[in-house]
Every structure is written in structure tokens, then in C-alpha cells.
Amino acid sequence: MNLAIGLLGCGTVGQGVVQLAQKRADMIRNLTGTRPVIRKVLVQNPNKKRAIEATTFTYTTRPEDILHDSDIRIVVEVMGGVEHTKDLILEALRSGKHVVTANKDLMAVHGPEILKTAEENNVEILYEASVGGAIPLIRPLKDSLTANEITGLKGIINGTTNYILTQMTQTGASFAEALKEAQDLGFAEADPTSDVDGLDAARKLTILASLAFYARVRLDEVEVQGIRSITARDVQYAAKLGTVIKLVAVGSDKSGHLSLSVRPALIPKQHPLSQVSGSFNALYVEADAAGDLMFYGRGAGSLPTASAVMGDVISLMKDIQIGVSGRSAHMYMPAKHIDVSSSTPMRHYIRLTVTDEPGVFARIASGFAQANVSMETVLQQLLEDATAEIVIVTHAVEHTALRKALQSLESLTSVQKIHNVLPVESNPV
């Protein structure tokens, strides 16, 4: 018995899906009782040369050829885009078809509407591949860990920025040099804005936090800071402090108050996340019953992402075989209060350039004392032109007090520039 699948899009991920569906067809039939057969594939140019052969399917440029085909039970969306793609997915769901998507941009913005539509039409939408590539993240949060109260998420969930920061750490490359290398190797897009400015990671955090904290999270509720400001100097100072710099997505739930951020942070070398290098991804989960967990693996790529897509397809095939559907409403949750800036006290790294003159540090220390911010570590280095660079690591401090301390720095004429202010993560308890 065959189960017909329609594919929206046939780029690198789509071709990976075709390859896996064809290669593993017999194994999947043994698991589910049915064989997956891709029947139709939506593309812009059917004549374009691709790395796959259309042996079981036909190409089409008309979405309705898939959405209105009563034989197709599952629609797989790997075409990307948001608004037009949303319309196609909603039409597929309303036509009684189950949907698998790898589209993080879509689910981060329109997830609640799409999940509600799936519930109303008694079908499912699965989206494991939208976050983390081959790493199973969605299903553990949605199913395996539901008996837990999850209080925290910390993740390196963008492979491009992790590759850039890894190269800066290991080779001493500048941000521009590491970015160019990432682009040459295909890890970064020609326009890297979404990655290096933290937007890609913020979209993924929106999806993960919605599941982990049973809340409807909006993308604009995530505090976002990218990595463009990170220099070789910051990387060197981080090493002296026994840390590495990573772009970290953080979510915490304290008594129903959520705090969500994506920003570069100093990670102690004893923390498992500090060892996540290159283009790899990882998610660290803090749960009350299961304890601390870390998921690690390749976060992108044709076959890793296709692996997650096909995992969802196989799950749907099993459900179809036994007549189960309509489980997608898990993420259709009420809103919780979300703090724009975290109220959780944290240590912070501050790097600034000052005029090298008597009394400078005393004035800095006085301003910090008035803001009730204490210093844990101070590093200082003389520079040219009668200036000095000072790095301060504070003790754990709330955002309001930190802001007052920074305002005191800005008021000093001897402080020429505040280069970076970065959180310093703690080791796991």
C-alpha cells in the first residue's frame, strides 16, 4: 500500500527529502505498513537540472495540483517564504491534508493561527525541522518532557554565527574575515543579516519557548542583539576570563514571568555549551523532573534537515494508519507576561576605552558604587595615544542597576567609548 505525498519546493532540503523517501521506502513500509511515494513536486522551473530523478513524481508549477489532489494525504513544505506559503499551508489543512514544514520564519510568526486551523480541520501539522535541523528538539518539548516544568532554555541555535565566533576564537580572525570564510564555505548567505543580527535565532527561540513554557510567544517579545560588535579584543579578553563568546538564545520562566533573549554572551569553559563549535547547534534544557539535558548535532544542511522532515512524515504515516489525528493544538496556548528586559541578576562583561589619566578608575568605581554594582574582575591594558582599555566583570546585577552604572560611565568625559556590554553565563548548578 502506498501513501501519496506532495512536496512544495525542491531546493537543497527538498531534494534531500526526495532522496531519503526513495532510499528508505522499504524500511518505512516495514515500520508503518505503507510506503511513502512522492507524487507531485511544486517548482518554479520544471526543466531545471536537479540532483534527483523524477521517477515516481511529476513536477508542477501549480500549487492547486497538489492541494486539490484527493489522493495526496501529506503535504511537505520546504519552499520557504512566509505570507504566500502560509496561504498554501492553510489551504492544505482546510483541504484535510496533514502538513510537515521546515519553515521557522512561518511558524515563529503565524504558528498559533496555523495550529488552530489544523485543530479545526482535525489534521496535524508537524514542524520538527523548523529548529535545529537533524537535532530532535520539538518532539521532546512537545511530548517527552510534558510531565516536567521547564524553567530554562539556553541554546546555540544558529550555525552561521557559531562558526564565525568559533573561527574568531580558534584562529584569531576578525569578524569580517570569519564571515567571509563562512560565506565561501556555504555556511553563511550572501546577505547574512538574519544570522549575524540574531533574527534567525530569535525566530527559533520563539518556537521553542512557546512549547517549553506553554505560552504564546511573539517574535517581537524577544530581546535581540547580534554579533557584529564582537571583535578580536573581546574574544581575547573572554579567553583570559576562562570563557568563550557564543550567540546564546535564552528563555526562562520564573513564576509565570518569561524572559527571552538572543545575544552574545561569555560562556564559562566548564559549561557544556562552550564546547559546541563550528556550525553545530545545541540546546540546554533545565527541567524539574528530568534534570538538565543537552541536545546536540548539526543544525542545518540538506540531509540533516531532510532527516527531521522525514521523521515527521513517518510519524504522520503511523497516525494515518491507526486513524489518529488532530494533535497539533499543543502550541495553541494563552499568552504569559513577558519581561522586555530580564530581571534575573546576571554578571556582565563591560569593555571600554578611557583617557589614561590619574583618578579615572576611582571615578568609574564611584559611579558603580552609587548604582549598587560591585566589580568581580578588572583587567586593564595601556594603548597608544595616552588611552587605556578597561574590562570590568560585575557581580550578578539586575538590569536597572546595570543601566545606572552604564549611565554613570557615559557621563564621564574620561570614558571615550563603551565598546561592549555582554552577559556572563554561570556554570550549571
Active site residues: 204
324 phi and psi, to 5 degrees? -105, 135
Neighbours of 43 (CB within 10 A): 18
Neighbours of 18 (CB within 10 A): 25
Taken as a whole, the chain contains a residue count of 429
Q: The C-alpha cell of 6 is what?
A: 506532495
Place of cell 570563557: 243
**75, 103 contact by CB (below 8 A):** no
The single-letter DSSP state of residue 346 is: B
Q: CA angle, corner 75, sides to 74 and 76, nearest 5?
A: 115
Which segments of 241-342 does DSSP mark as H helices, in order?
302-322
Cα→Cα distances 272→99, 110, 283, Å: 35, 33, 10
Cα–Cα distance, 427 to 286 (Å, whole number) = 13
Cα–Cα distance, 428 to 251 (Å, whole number) = 15
Place of cell 563550528: 278
User: H or E stretch including 176?
Assistant: helix 175-184
Beta bridge partners of 347: 424
